[in-house]
Chains A and B, each alone.
Chain A
Amino acid sequence: MTIDNDKVAYPSTVTPSEPRTSTDEIGRQIFQRRQRRLRRQRLVFLSIRVASLAIVFVGWQIYGSHTIAILFAPITTVIHEGYLLFTQHGLAGQLFISVKTFAWGYLLGMIIGVFLGMLTGAYRAAEAAISMYIFALYATPMVALVPIISLWVGYNFTAQVVIVTLFVVWPVTVTVFHGIREIDPELLEVSRSLRLNRRQTWLHVLLPGAVPFIVTGATQGVAMGMVGVIIAEVQTQLTGIGDALQTQSSTYHTAAALAVILLIMALGLTLRLILSLIQRWVIPWQRVDRGRRH
């Protein structure tokens, strides 16, 4: 029996006159065909992605070659300028400084945010006492606080870390707060029924239940923290990538400035990638649903 490539041949379609193929064999063929189709689809989507990148880069190259250098530059020039920044202008050192600022601010923001979110999410009294400040600050663009922070803390590394922390902490707090609230009330009831004490309820129910929301908060925190780093470095003491960006664009080295922006993009993408790896590791019970979309 042969199998039509586009139709699933069920054993019932086998007529008595044909030589009988075992159902296992048919099942295996159907499975293989599905696998082939899946691989083919993956290849198609990969090609679309590659084609899209090619079009953008070629378009960039052509447009960049036909405009004045102060406004734009071809991608090859941008990459070359980026290379020069790394080799001759100490961009690696600046990147390190920025990553350090980000890491400290992000870490502090996550710790404070998770703590505040859990506290206000789990205890009504804590919510009544402080949630209005959290939501007020969440609604405030943190960039408005930058001049005041500089005034209070100074134009230094500490001020930059404080600024990044302020950018990270509110979205994390609000996400974790809602996360704790969304924990299935039946599970809290089960915890009571199983006679878990307060410590056990936190350890076995609230914390693990909040993990997916902490991860979501962490992802939002990365985006906000990146904004925070650049603003802190440009608006306080000029350091790190912010320095590179500001110096290059204010002296009309547009190609170099674009190179720095590409670097910032790459940094953001890397951080998100790391987070998605962490996510798989900390939420092993959540099967990643790879449903097919159209």
Chain B
Amino acid sequence: MTTREQSPATDKEVTAQQGTKSDSGEIRCRDIFKWFGTSLIIESLDLDIAPKEFVCVVGPSGCGKTTLLRMIAGLTDIDNGTIEIGGTRVDDPLPTVAVVFQQFGLFPWKTVLKNVALPLRAAGIKKDEALQRAREAIELVGLKDSDTKYPSQLSGGMKQRAGLARALAIRPEVILLDEPFAAVDAQTREILQEELLNLWGRHKQTAVFITHSIDEAITLADRVVVMGARPGRIVKEIPIPIERPRTVASVRRNPLYAPLREEIWDLLRTPDSTAKGQ
């Protein structure tokens, strides 16, 4: 079991290291390597993400995209290279970073309100203020009437709204989403995409969003990072020059949509483009 001891001193250090306001929320990955056992999962990966940029990472299964996200989140050791967020080197989860998990990661013994308030309490915020901010976040994602429910009483879509509320409640500079809508049905997925576009439009953070879905990536991202497998690495980075505010429908109607989709699809389905050295 790994837990980290927190002290006010280390939190202050973190704040001090964040440097100027302009580069807070900037993610810089340099020469990342990762092995599982003896097999190489990620090879020499470099990735820069600007503050308040929305980046989607797509790639075939086993290309290491979730591993990359976990390394940025400070949940998995980086075997070689460095990741910096706002100038702070990532070794453990940073207080300015929030994660939305694929399987929601809600505590079944806590109500929605208590789940959302937990990271605030962990950050040392007084109980009343933590609950107040949790309520605001819950209202933001449209779960106001469900804040006293337990996760088992919620649908998949509502669970992920709660997961999103928990991530937003700490007012992070970076939000990391690991296939957050993969466990909900297709309609709910589009609704959640729409809501995320809305929320992100109003409160911009740097966002890294892992997905299998090309449509989802184009809908949400400023830039799509296409990864290849064996070993995982970046094949191409494709900017999405579709203006905001966007909706799911407006993106589909955009003339850029079809060619972008085709380009990404070609990159993903051509084994030559994803298998290395051929």
Q: Give residues in A with beta carbon < 8 Å to B.
A: 122-124, 186-198, 200-201, 204-205, 208-209, 211, 283-287
Contact = CB atoms under 8 A, between A and B. Distances in A.
21 contacts: A123-B1, A124-B1, A187-B105, A188-B1, A190-B99, A190-B101, A192-B4, A192-B74, A192-B75, A192-B93, A194-B118, A194-B119, A195-B95, A196-B3, A197-B122, A201-B1, A285-B109, A285-B150, A285-B151, A285-B152, A287-B153
A196 to B, nearest CB: 5
Given A189-B75, A190-B105, A205-B107, A195 B99 contact: no
Given A123-B1, A196-B3, 20 more contacts: A186-B105, A187-B105, A189-B75, A189-B105, A192-B3, A192-B75, A193-B75, A193-B98, A194-B119, A194-B122, A195-B6, A195-B93, A197-B3, A197-B6, A201-B3, A204-B118, A208-B107, A283-B109, A286-B152, A287-B152
Contacts of B119: 194-195
Nearest to B99: A193
B75 A208 contact: no
Contacts of A208: 107, 109-110
Contacts of A209: 109
Contacts of A211: 109
A192 B107 contact: no
> Which 7 residue pairs are nearest across A and B when measured between Cβ atoms?
A190-B105, A208-B109, A194-B119, A285-B150, A198-B3, A197-B6, A201-B3
A189 to B, nearest CB: 6
B221 interface: no
B243 interface: no
B123 interface: yes
Contacts, number: 78
Contacts of B121: 200
Q: Looking at chain A's contact residues, is the secondary structure mostly helix, strand, loop, or mixed?
A: helix
A28 to B, nearest CB: 24
Contacts of A191: 3
B20 interface: no
Interface of B: 1-6, 73-75, 92-93, 95, 98-99, 101, 103, 105, 107-110, 118-119, 121-123, 150-153, 166
B228 to A, nearest CB: 27
A91 B79 CA distance: 71
Contacts of B95: 195
A285 B108 CA distance: 7
Contacts of B2: 188, 192
A85 B34 CA distance: 75
A186 B108 CA distance: 12
Nearest to B149: A285
A204 B75 contact: no
Nearest to B109: A208
B257 to A, nearest CB: 34
Contacts of B101: 186, 190
Contacts of A201: 1, 3
B72 to A, nearest CB: 11
Contacts of B108: 285-286
Contacts of B105: 186-187, 189-190, 193
B5 A198 contact: yes
Contacts of A186: 101, 103, 105
Contacts of A285: 108-110, 150-152
Contacts of A190: 99, 101, 105, 107
Contacts of B153: 287
A71 B151 CA distance: 58
Nearest to A188: B1
B169 to A, nearest CB: 10
Contacts of B103: 186
Contacts of A286: 108, 152
A193 B74 CA distance: 8
Q: Which of A122, A190, A201 has the most CB of B within 10 A?
A: A190
Q: Which of A187, A192, A193, A204 has the most CB of B within 10 A?
A: A193
A186 B109 CA distance: 15
Nearest to A282: B109
Given A187-B107, A190-B101, A211-B109, A195 B4 contact: yes
